[in-house]
Amino acid sequence: MSHELIEIEKGASYQAVLTYLQNYTQKVRNIQEKYALENKEIISPKLLDNPRLSSEEMATLSELKRNLNNITNEVAERVEKHRVVSYDVQTKKYFLKAYDRIRVDTLVRSVGDINKSIQKIKFIVEVYTRINKQLISEFNDKINSGEFPKTKMFVLGNILLIYEFANYLINFFEGFKLDGIEDVEELYDKEINRISNAMEDLQKLKDEANSIEIKIDDKVKQQVISNLNDREQSLKLFKEEWDKYIKEINRVQEKVYFLKDKIPTLKIIRDNAQNQLDFFEIMKIFGIMMVAETVRKNLAPLSQTIDLPLNEINLIPLPPQTVYDIIGLQEQVNSQAV
């Protein structure tokens, strides 16, 4: 049931992000029209540095990162909340005393912080992928239905989405810290130290029981030695399990921090989006120029040689055929060919 609740809440959060991004894009477009800005001037880093914008407009733009952070944190909190509730149900049967409960709560809270950090990354990437796929699907629907004038907004939205999310992830990973690790390591050190001390005390007691200088009843001695051997084996098992646990925590930490190695890839994705944004600006002017009858008649036939190798970063491909469709020139090109 908790898994279903998690998926429901993640779905609602996805819709919240989608709605916000749609509103944000519209606000950016309004600002662009108001100040007659080029497309390359409406990406958030450049737009936030524009001295012409009012304080209210600046606040609107600053909402992007803040709202994404808030929604991401909320999703991570809710996902982990369901997990902790499930964990609490399982641990109630142990009837822990206050001191033990504090130690267990420390462990649960620390592991929860680790899980929340991981959930943030997963949710950001999941939302980014889902929204971008939806946008590309809608773009293709408009192309297939011949609604070419409407496709420009989808192309621009796709570019801005890729750029803003890549930029967001770069900043996120650069400042990312896996919360809870230090608390788990501290608890591990304390427990290992307690186990070591217990082993030392156990060994001293065993040496004392085996000492020929001390007169101990043989039956009591055998019973004590047996008890000590049992506890020694248990302590060794406790240490092995704690060592396995901290190794797993460190393995998770290594995997998460490995994501920072993706920053150069994200920068390439962001720069590719920036490049496509520059191309989009050229494409629009090209369309206007082609519409002008007097200019168009003086142009040599255009060869279909524009190449946009976008690899696999999910930017909408803009080969000549698609470009001509978007700017409404395909019919004119066909008539020229005839």
Q: What is the pLDDT of residue 302?
A: 34
Q: Which residue has the higher pLDDT, 252 or 238?
A: 238
* Residues 75, 230: Cα–Cα separation, whole Å: 46
Q: What is the pLDDT of residue 189?
A: 93
Instruction: Record the tokens describing residue 92, joined without a space.
Output: 């109630």
For the chain, state the CA radius of gyration: 31
Mean pLDDT of 310-316: 48
pLDDT tier, 318 (very low <50, low <70, confident <90, very high otherwise): low
The closest of 20, 39, 95 to 279, measured between CA atoms, is: 39
Instruction: State the chain's mean pLDDT as an integer.
Output: 75
- The residue assigned the tokens 């704690």 is 242
pLDDT tier, 300 (very low <50, low <70, confident <90, very high otherwise): very low
DSSP 201-261: HHHHHHHHHH-TTS---HHHHHHHHHHHHHHHHHHHHHHHHHHHHHHHHHHHHHHHHHGGG
User: pLDDT (tens digit, 9 = 90+) per residue, 146-160?
Assistant: 887 778 777 877 888
Q: Where are the domains of the chain?
A: 2-181+258-337, 182-257
Q: Which residue has the higher pLDDT, 109 or 37?
A: 37
User: pLDDT (tens digit, 9 = 90+) per residue, 43-91?
Assistant: 777 888 888 989 888 887 777 667 777 887 887 777 777 666 555 665 6
Q: Is the pLDDT of residue 202 over 50?
A: yes
Name the amino acid, one letter, at 199: M
Q: Is the pLDDT of residue 22 over 60?
A: yes
Q: What is the pLDDT of residue 301?
A: 38
Q: Is the pLDDT of residue 236 over 70?
A: yes
pLDDT tier, 296 (very low <50, low <70, confident <90, very high otherwise): very low
Percent of the chain, pLDDT > 90? 8
Q: What is the pLDDT of residue 143?
A: 83
Name the amino acid, one letter, at 67: N
Q: What is the pLDDT of residue 90?
A: 57
pTM of the shown model: 0.66
* Residues 128, 17: Cα–Cα separation, whole Å: 9
pLDDT tier, 162 (very low <50, low <70, confident <90, very high otherwise): confident
Neighbours of 204 (CB within 10 A): 10
Q: Is the pLDDT of residue 196 over 90?
A: yes
Q: Give start and end residues of each alpha helix (H) in the chain.
A: 2-35, 44-48, 55-91, 98-144, 148-174, 181-210, 218-258, 263-291, 293-297, 320-326, 330-337
Q: Is the pLDDT of residue 298 over 70?
A: no
Name the amino acid, one letter, at 314: N
Mean pLDDT of 214-221: 81
Q: What is the pLDDT of residue 117?
A: 78
Q: What is the pLDDT of residue 150?
A: 75
